[in-house]
Chains A and B, each alone.
Chain A
Amino acid sequence: MLPIKAHYDGQSIILDEPASLQVGQQLYVYVAGQGNSQKSSRETLNKILQPVRDAFTASGMTDDELAELLEHEKHAMRGDSRGNN
């Protein structure tokens, strides 16, 4: 089943499990519940990750430099784990 996109309270909501809409439940109640839940969890995640995003900004790195750093560390990690085996 394809996910359904809905607009509620100014936000886009992806309803990827429309089958969980209970028989007799009004659609707007279901969508509002899904929307509030997704909004709340996104806000919580953004709050938790804000220090990571602030640290990236403070580092002065560009997005390309970040990608290079991550690739460097990934290959260093792989090299370390080969050495440990």
Chain B
Amino acid sequence: MRCGVTLVETTKIIERVVFDCNIFLQAMANPAGPAGECFQQASNGVIRLFISSEILSEFTEVANRPVLQQKLSLTDERVNAFLQEILGISDFIPNVAPVYQHPDDPKDNIYIDLAIATSATVITTRDKDLLRLMNTNEPLGRDFVQQFPMISVLTPVQLLARISSV
């Protein structure tokens, strides 16, 4: 130790995670909420975050919706600044092989394909179609869990609970 610097510990990465684009937008608008806290955990290195060009595109397209621009005062400068922050704390995967086909919403494939490509253990989302993949009372969920037992689809609150339980 010297001049007030203390090396405290090595940060143990607890989970490898893919965020739905809306988790980023929610964290951007409300850093105090569960999505904001998940983003902070990625920033702190507690979770290792993966991102693809497809997810970044979806983030930008949703941020460009007129309703959101108006309600959240989103501008190109603000969105781009947060985009840079996302890139700064994530591992960018440029080419992700298409593997999974979601029967209800194929646009969700980008999240599952990235999780498969990076051996991520968690997809964090509030999307009902993605969360349904964990419902083993339905054939969709049963098939998914059987095919990809290492991937959990969790809400931000569930991810935070999982991190804190380790």
Chain A: residues with CB nearer than 8 A to chain B? Answer: 2-9, 12, 14, 16, 26-28, 31-32, 44-45, 48-49, 51-56, 59, 63, 66-71, 73-78, 81
Contact = CB atoms under 8 A, between A and B. Distances in A.
Contact of A5 (B8, B21, B62): B8
A6 B81 CA distance: 26
B30 A71 contact: no
B2 A67 contact: no
A47 to B, nearest CB: 9
A69 B78 CA distance: 19
Contact of B31 (A12, A28, A53, A68): A53
Given A14-B44, A31-B5, A77 B26 contact: no
Interface string B1-34: 0111111111111000000011001101111011
Question: Top 5 A-B pairs ranked by shortest CB distance?
Answer: A63-B33, A55-B73, A70-B22, A56-B29, A3-B45
B138 interface: no
22 contacts: A3-B10, A3-B11, A4-B7, A4-B9, A5-B9, A5-B44, A6-B6, A12-B44, A14-B11, A28-B4, A45-B81, A52-B73, A53-B29, A55-B72, A63-B30, A67-B26, A67-B126, A68-B126, A70-B22, A75-B105, A76-B65, A77-B58
Contacts of B65: 73, 76-77
B143 interface: no
Interface in B106-153: 107, 126-128
A77 B43 CA distance: 28
Contacts of B62: 70, 73-74, 77
A28 B72 contact: no
Interface residues of B, number: 46
B159 interface: no
Interface string B69-97: 00111100110011001000000000000
B82 A28 contact: no
Given A49-B78, A73-B68, 13 more contacts: A4-B10, A4-B11, A5-B9, A7-B6, A14-B43, A28-B2, A45-B82, A52-B28, A52-B72, A59-B71, A68-B126, A70-B126, A78-B105
B38 interface: no
